[in-house]
Chains A and B, each alone.
Chain A
């Protein structure tokens, strides 16, 4: 058996007996469904929540029925402005000249009640205008001289699902590729030094490059398993939960074969790169705790690229941006999910960039692994 296989086998055996790593993978797989379930419950509760409208004056005929239908409860008050501060969600004063609405924008319940209130009023206004026109023999469609007919080319629920996936899937893929194997990476690098096993290991005639490859392969495998387990659990959870109650928005979650293939390929590259990087950091560290401190900034690296997709959904950079590791993976995966297509030039540049990153990290780890200072420091 080659030293690579010997080290890989031993590392896997140790990792699978390490509660920290197993718990990290288990929690990662469970965390997404739990978070989605909580969001679903909160959105359901919000959708069915009734809000109170404190009013004065006379409610126009029929409007009270419309308010009731959307969960707005009317309550007569003396001063709607004063009541809107604490007593009710929004205050409304009906008068002959129109409607005065009072709300405190810092209260979320006021904002939600306002949205419903405005929707009802706009429908009421439109219905009133249409009725008046019809009474006078005028076709109400004159108010809409250029009607628009919308023809969606995919189901709206799938669009919502894709939009959701294009943010969460790259985020989870990157985060889990990093954190899923982090404990194992630090254990196999900083841990060797801390346990005083490093010297014995380096005393064997096994080439150090092969020892390192065995370690990176083992950590990469665990990272990959953690990332894929989290994504599968997220997809299953998304297909089961509904958002906004029974009549609310559901996601149609479909990961196309192309997107799934791209995702697995990127997961392999990310896992290998992150494993090399974290083992390098762990080799620099004197012990496990110091290794964790060195690795902490990496968490931010995983958050920023995914955030770009969230905050700039139409971010379409030129090819040079695909040289930036991690950001490139986010962008390629976003395109594969939302458009079900992959530009091969961006995928090639992304793959090259991630492979080079992994190779550089491997080289750095190997350099550290063969330095006398490694032993002297220990």
Chain B
């Protein structure tokens, strides 16, 4: 059995007057890709934001590698890397400078920064555009920069929030391959998506969220159950949940 890296227990969160999360519970383990599925507005992004300490839970708890997000947010942030659909990078910095900036802010030691940055540039095959200013890069190249800055401090937990929604087919495939590679390296990969085809292919286990509640959870094959594919299972579960 792999080690539990992220534990989410009866998580509740209200934003404004909208109760977004209503008791979410799941565990993601090291060495697996864990899927967080649900329609738009289900609460996936809010859940990820609570896990990475950007939002505080109203009730319930979240632990990342044993660190409570409310008690030790700095420790949690050191151990988490997040890639989102919105590829925000600094346009007047080069790809390399963008990555180095985040390496320094995440506490990579001065003497280590260059080696770490070179390492992720090699790993993501970014050598051809590493010195170019980010404003001149393609969407796929920018997404690689976003991934590189999220992993430059070598976090044990990686979270991908709809990472392929703005990318073409080739760039999307590279992201999927990267997630598998990260899993093989022993990372805990949490993959939030509403693209069920991707989830079915990649996820070892998954949780389906609807209107802030967990409607199904378990190994991908278990959740699919007797249905033809995950999409049919998903639709059936969501309709049943109202």
- Chain A residues close to B by CB (< 8 Å): 1, 3, 6-7, 10, 13-14, 17-18, 195-207, 211, 372, 375-376
Contact = CB atoms under 8 A, between A and B. Distances in A.
A72 to B, nearest CB: 61
B92 A196 contact: no
The size class of the interface chain B forms with chain A is 20 to 34
Contacts of A14: 90, 92-93
A92 to B, nearest CB: 68
26 contacts: A1-B104, A1-B110, A3-B104, A6-B101, A7-B105, A10-B90, A13-B92, A13-B93, A195-B88, A195-B90, A195-B91, A196-B86, A196-B87, A197-B88, A197-B89, A198-B88, A199-B54, A200-B88, A200-B146, A202-B54, A203-B82, A205-B77, A206-B105, A206-B106, A211-B105, A375-B49
Contact of B92 (A18, A211, A376): A18
Interface string B51-77: 011111000000000000000001101
B233 interface: no
A376 B82 CA distance: 17
Contacts of A198: 88
B106 A13 contact: no
A204 B102 contact: yes
A203 B104 contact: no
A45 to B, nearest CB: 45
A375 B54 contact: yes
B175 to A, nearest CB: 17
A334 B3 CA distance: 70
B224 interface: no
A372 B55 contact: yes
Given A196-B84, A199-B54, 20 more contacts: A1-B110, A10-B90, A13-B92, A13-B93, A18-B92, A195-B88, A195-B91, A196-B86, A197-B88, A197-B89, A203-B54, A204-B77, A205-B74, A205-B77, A205-B106, A207-B74, A211-B105, A372-B54, A375-B54, A375-B55
Contacts, number: 75
Nearest to A378: B86
Contacts of B90: 10, 14, 195, 197
Nearest to B76: A205
Contacts of B146: 200
Nearest to A372: B55
A203 B74 CA distance: 9
Given A196-B88, A376-B15, A204 B93 contact: no
Given A13-B93, A195-B91, A372-B55, A200 B102 contact: yes
A13 B100 CA distance: 13
A199 B102 CA distance: 12
A374 B93 CA distance: 24
A372 B84 CA distance: 18
Interface in B97-115: 97, 101-102, 104-107, 110
9 smallest CB-CB distances across A and B, nearest first, come from A196-B88, A197-B88, A204-B105, A205-B77, A196-B86, A17-B92, A6-B104, A205-B74, A206-B105
A10 B93 contact: yes
A199 B88 contact: yes
A196 B82 CA distance: 13
B80 interface: yes
Contacts of A3: 104-105
A7 B105 CA distance: 8
B242 interface: no
B93 A203 contact: no
Query: Which of A198, A199, A200 has the most chain B CB atoms inside 10 A of its CB?
Result: A200
A205 B92 CA distance: 23
Query: Which of B74, B87, B105, B107 has the most chain A CB atoms inside 10 A of its CB?
Result: B105
Contact of A372 (B56, B89, B104): B56
A196 to B, nearest CB: 3
B10 interface: no
A375 to B, nearest CB: 6
